[in-house]
Chain A
Amino acid sequence: MAGPLSVGVNLEAFSQAIGAIQALRSSVSRVFDCLGDGLRNRETLEGREKAFIARFRDNLHSVHRDLHELERLSNLVCKPLENHPLHNSGLLSLDPAQDKTPLYSQLLQAYKWSSKLQCHAGLAAGLLNQQSLKRSANQMGAPAKRRPKAQPTMLLLPPQYVDDVISRIDRMFPEMSIQLSRPNGTSAMLLVTLGKVLKAIVVLRSLFIDRTIVKGYNENVYTEGGKLDIWSKSNYQVFRKVTDHATTALLHYQLPQMPHVVVRSFMTWLRSYIKLFQAPCQRCGKFLWDGLPPTWRDFRTLEAFHDTCRQ
């Protein structure tokens, strides 16, 4: 790590490295210029080709030389300190030209603005929860004053935290296994296998559930390329219905301040499908209605109902 003593040395290496980058850029652009000019007019085709190849080779050699120089210099340059409280953005405050590029102050402004927005959104969510507009259940949010003071949470949670939350939920339910994967960057995808009844694909954005697809235990959940197939629907009507209900549940379980609670409640709700084929409807007492078993699970009591019996 670069201490205060080595700063001078470092700065020199930096300026040399910048010079080397400029040299590299100019030699690279010479290569492209040469390619762009193409074969110049000469008497014979052979002469033209020879001259062109010679020029091209010279240019490539100089690129090679400059690149070596840059690599040599880059070894001298240390990585900047990383333990700044604002991470890399903190380095912006070191920029001496405040007047020309006021990035740092703008950044601070934006940060303040976004945390204020978050705070207001949280309060609004609390108020809206009391005025329940939900059709399917009259769940009232807990009184706002009893809730712990809302921390301004970050939308972008570290992947490590997401892993922790998911593995804790995985341990909570022995009959449910959760496989976490990140095929596309930081967003996690879960493959939930519930007993020998169903498989559910849950797409997370940070710790918010974006989409869910429910399929049968014996259905293929992977595409031909071996990735999780998050688009195609189940072949069975009963699981298409369960997918619809699961999407309703996503909209129902909302608590912006505590996303991990949302994921846990959703999984608890999903777990009640372990008795999908065994539980009769709590209202009509039958198994089948229109050829489908009771696919609806109440959000609070987790009791089984037919879609038409739940009102």
Chain B
Amino acid sequence: MDKIHSRRQVAAIKHSLFDQGYLDEQFIQLEELQDDANPNFVEEIVTLYYRDSSRLISNLDHTLERNPLDFNKLDTIMHQFKGSSSSIGAKKVKAECTLFREYCRTRNGEGCRRSFQQMKKEYATLRKKLETYFQLARQAGPQETAFRPK
């Protein structure tokens, strides 16, 4: 009964992540790639994404501290970050990346900073939500583990 409940919970969280626009269909793509060879593929990918992208975030942080702003550099890093975020389907983060790059193009330093803060927020929120999601999913266990003795 617990299992069924937690599975429902997992499904509900996932659903809300899509409904609230945190994730896009890329996430489903990742889930489809998950198989016996990589049973935790999605989680591995998300972990990898957060590990790698934190480097880019701090890089952006540093670059934004400079004066005057190097918009080209900011744009390049953000482009990279956006590409990376597209890998897990981080929809809101991606949207902020696009906005940020738009500010870069118009040389709007203030806009860039604001957008960057917003992006970091979305980035952190998604991380938390995904962590919760994976934790619950692990507890609920994959459906394929039904054979496991209770």
A and B form one complex: no
Q: Which residues of A contact B (CB under 8 A)?
A: none
